[in-house]
Chain A
Amino acid sequence: MRAMVYRGPYKVRVEEKDVPRIEHPNDAIVKVVRAAICGSDLHLYHGMMPDTRIGHTFGHEFIGVVEQVGSSVQNLQVGDRVMVPFNIYCGTCFFCARGLYSNCHNVNPNATAVGGIYGYSHTTGGYDGGQAQYVRVPFADVGPQKIPDWLDDEDALLMTDALSTGYFGAQLADIREGDTVAVLGAGPVGLFAARSAWLMGAGRVVVIDQLDYRLEKAKEFAYAETRNYAEYDDIVVEMKYATDGLGFDRVIEAVGAEADGNLIQHVTAAKLKLQGGSPVALNWAIDGVRKGGTVSVMGAYGPIFSAVKFGDAMNKGLTLRMNQAPVARQWPRLLEHIRNGYLKPSDIVTHRIPLEHIAEGYHMMSSKLDGMIKPVIIPDED
């Protein structure tokens, strides 16, 4: 089969690989119909995630058709069209039993702090991902779900990560009616978080980024006010002035390890790999939220230390909430929202790229070229 493989920082190519095999009775093999490149993939692409091996196939956002099932699979059949959450999880460990699907203890030998994720290095379990023609899907009875007939492929694709994560991020922010909400980052996660903040009853939503074309999307798709942080000497001061000196009730950080806005933080983290991530946006969130407020962190960071302004968080009495999103838990309610016409996830898709050209897709996503927000990968021209 054809599969994207990692060849070292900033380098990927498409190679011929063996089609994955059933390795456990509850495995399925899924033929990928659509995949996506996620902002998280950039952390791997840039070589920031420890134990990212040469030859690894990335891709944790994908939908497909069941090609083969293991002997104990009951809920899926060959030929079913399925959406697969980015989390790999068993359903019955201590954590899964409490709904913490992204924190499963039974799927990742390489780390106890991290759950299982498709195509996301060995630090998340060493599973090849879905930017390929076929993928091994463990615990087929637990994670994947049949795609409802009425749901479009690209909408289903975005359910597997970006949409569910943004929706989850807004929930972690503990939004109450009339709250002021700032969202840092206008990528797919930030856009969906901003849109979801309204569902929770926010009174005002402000999205902050430096990419004007993404801020345009934030206005149009997420009905948000926007601020371009590059136009302010100090965006934290603007966050205070915009709220009469109070700070935002809730701030959602949807940027993560490669945040810009402070050259030293960015270069020490993203280029030199001396910190787990560049916490610029996280620090802005901590400083821009009001005292007693909540910061919800959706941005991903590597496992080593990062220079976070913890003292401010402590002195301000903040609640910091975060996790990898437990994706499938969001689905029943999200499907209702989509069906009610409250949102159309695929509105944020900007590019459709054949798998063979994925190297160009990575470069464009990394350098944010050509108005890219969400690129969809097509494994087979059909």
Chain B
Amino acid sequence: MPYRAEKPPLAETPEQLRARIPGWGADLDPADRPSYPRERTDLPTGAHWDFPERQPEPYPRERSIEHTQLPPVFGTAQPLQGAAGAIRRYAYDRFSEGRAAHWLLLIAADRVESTTEHLKSFATTRPDNPITETGILSEPRRHPIASRRGRVDVRHQVLDPLIVAGPWIAGGLAAVAVLRRVLR
């Protein structure tokens, strides 16, 4: 009871816990815990440099304005391109990570890119296929009803198909509206 000084007693003694649970108390001493204390300067890392060699910069690599220089190593997957690339570049060049605008622009660019890339895919030999790419074909074999029984997240799982199909439905309705106007 927190109204008094004593701590409520435990159901099991350390001896009982040690007997029941493999390894109970093996790391009781904080000194045996590898992340104690959090900061340590005596850990071997395998690094054999003071400062790493610099990876060549094959194109002007975008970077947070909080970096005073380009870090020596970086990912080169999916370089900036197109309209989304321009928005991302602006977000990086203009706003620090402390600014909401930085992140909101990056999120907006993600939406722009998923739309443009989706449209572009229809001009390729491998158009996006929402049926196979969302993996919903696995449903019948994976106990779709039993797996969801009694779960609170089912209430918003119904929104998932809407997130995937919604933009297409909205786009379709808009196209119909425009066509109607043009034909009238």
A332 to B44, CA, bound (A): 12
A101 to B157, CA, bound (A): 36
> Given the interface contacts A199-B24, A211-B151, does A23 sit within 8 Å of B97 by beta carbon?
no
CB-CB under 8 A from B103, the residues of chain A are 50, 302-304
Q: In residues 335-352 of chain A, which contact B (Cβ within 8 Å)? A: 337, 340-343
CB distance from A290 to the nearest CB of B (A): 8
> Given the interface contacts A110-B64, A370-B142, does A326 sit within 8 Å of B55 by beta carbon?
no
Q: In residues 18-40 of chain B, which contact A (Cβ within 8 Å)? A: 20-28, 32-36, 38-40
Q: Determine if A109 and B10 form an interchain contact, defined as CB atoms under 8 angstroms apart.
A: no
Q: Determine if A23 and B45 form an interchain contact, defined as CB atoms under 8 angstroms apart.
A: no
Interface of B is mostly: loop
Interface of A is mostly: loop
Q: Determine if A363 and B135 form an interchain contact, defined as CB atoms under 8 angstroms apart.
A: yes
| A91 contacts the other chain (CB 8 A) | yes
> Given the interface contacts A50-B107, A55-B78, does A99 sit within 8 Å of B61 by beta carbon?
no
CB-CB under 8 A from B70, the residues of chain A are 109
A168 to B27, CA, bound (A): 12
Q: Determine if A107 and B73 form an interchain contact, defined as CB atoms under 8 angstroms apart.
A: yes
| Closest partner residue, chain B, to A223 (CB atom) | B21
| Closest partner residue, chain A, to B111 (CB atom) | A47
Give how many A residues have a beta carbon under 8 Å from the other chain's beta carbons: 114
Pick the interface stretch among A9-17, A28-36, A147-155, A308-316.
A9-17
Q: A47-B114, A139-B52, A263-B156 are in contact. List 14 more A-B contacts (CB 8 A).
A: A7-B121, A12-B135, A24-B52, A26-B53, A50-B106, A54-B114, A90-B52, A97-B41, A107-B71, A110-B62, A110-B64, A201-B25, A263-B155, A333-B33
Q: List 15 A-B contacts (CB under 8 A).
A: A13-B129, A51-B88, A51-B106, A75-B46, A122-B75, A125-B74, A128-B77, A142-B47, A168-B35, A171-B35, A201-B25, A210-B152, A260-B152, A343-B23, A359-B133
- Going nearest first, the 6 A-B pairs with the smallest beta carbon separation are A342-B23, A91-B47, A363-B135, A126-B75, A8-B114, A91-B45
Q: Which residues of A contact B (CB under 8 A)?
A: 7-13, 15, 23-26, 47, 50-57, 72, 74-75, 88, 90-92, 96-101, 105-113, 116, 122-123, 125-128, 138-139, 141-142, 168, 171-172, 177-178, 180, 196, 198-201, 203-204, 210-212, 223, 230, 243-246, 260-261, 263, 266-267, 270-271, 273, 290, 302-305, 326, 329-334, 337, 340-343, 357, 359-364, 366-371
